[in-house]
Structure 1
Amino acid sequence: MAQTLAGRDQWYVVHVLSGQENKVRENILKRVKAEEMGDVIYDVLVPTERVSEIKKGKKSETTRKFFPGYLIINMHLLDENNQLVGRTWYFIRDTPGVIGFAGTKDRPIPMRQSEVESMLAQMKEREEKVKPKISFEVGESVKV
């Protein structure tokens, strides 16, 4: 799926059941294919990062969501008159596990392009570089 930033095709934050982000993402992607919605829904992301932790003396890497309870979706939701495209709105709203859109009750607010670019860069950086699960700041007190 393409990561489009132009025109009416914008990124939106969708609130989903916490812990169900991947399941809801898969549901949306399956429904996009089954209901031929690929012309209006382009990409569905669960922003994650790789973290390392030591358990019982063994180092392991896991993936952690950095916006738990939210999906970021690139879609065509507003027409040229800035009105909601009902087909897309109801498609997302009727997906099991979706709570709603970020914004007002009846008007989702798209992410600013600068926010999208920052988030995508952050995702790429966090995917490439593993960070410790627990981090400390210089001068912070720790108990051993």
Structure 2
Amino acid sequence: MLTTESSVFELNERLNKLKEDKCKVSTLNFRSNISVKGTKHFDEDWWNEVKIGEAIFSCYRPCSRCIFITVDPDTGFLMKNMQPLRLLRTYRIAPKGKLRDFYGESPIFGVYMILKKEGRINVGDKVFVRKKLSPF
């Protein structure tokens, strides 16, 4: 599972603008295996294939989010008023069609990947991406 730091940053900006329920999240809230920096927010929605170091991954579907992202990774306690899940439900629901039928009202954040070619990856490796013609 991959997320991008810019998507987390964008979410934090939205959370900071809330009159109530302000909180801050990190990539740890999303339990991603790989976190990439240096992209546009939600650019991962467009990714089809990713090469990191010697490894090649195929992005096969977006990751839907549940209540676990509301758990503070430092304390283990639920964050107030179900944030950031509530906010993500306002703008990160799958588009109508097969994805909406599959995910329902669960918001999308990050992407699941399948390993196509094994290889070593390291912190700081360049990330190369082959994009799709449309997101998701």
Fold shared by both chains (TM-score > 0.5): no
Task: Select the structure of larger CA radius of gyration.
Answer: 1
Specify which structure has the higher proportion of strand.
Answer: 1
TM-score, normalised with respect to structure 2: 0.29
TM-score, normalised with respect to structure 1: 0.28
